[in-house]
Amino acid sequence: MIRAAPGLRSLVAARRAATVAASRSSRLASSSAVAEINPAAPETWPSVKETMVPDAYHEFEHAKGSVNFWFWTNLLFVIPALVGVSLYVLPDEFNHIKHLPDHAKEYVAFPHLGKRKNPFPWGDGDKSLFHNQYANP
């Protein structure tokens, strides 16, 4: 690793600081110069409609309308529908979860289910990565 001399490091740091200060002052000077020439500069800029090709502006407006439509559709219809379906389904699901131990012997070990050509590279080699010991022992 090549190390620069201490004097060179301070020279580089001073030059960086001077460059940053100069760029800040030039940005401030340029923004104040524009304000001095024309104080109402932002108001005199052309509108988006005036600067775009008419077909492109039509597509721009259509896109804004489409985004707005789908935002409000999701907010007012989809989210309440999801909440309503959840409120309808969750009580039955919770009741089913409460009595799952009663259904422990539902698994049937058919001979074609446990065949392995090669063992899995984890655990005992017989269970998949997403093995569920309650659903298939």
Average pLDDT over residues 15-40: 58
Long-range CB pairs of 99-107 (<8 Å, 24+ gap) are 100/134, 104/134, 107/135, 107/136, 107/137
Q: What is the pLDDT of residues 39-69, one digit of tens each?
A: 666 667 778 778 888 888 888 889 999 999 9
Are residues 134 and 100 in contact, defined by beta-carbon separation less than 8 angstroms? yes
**Which of the listed ranges 52-66, 69-83, 105-119 does the model predict with the highest average pLDDT?**
69-83
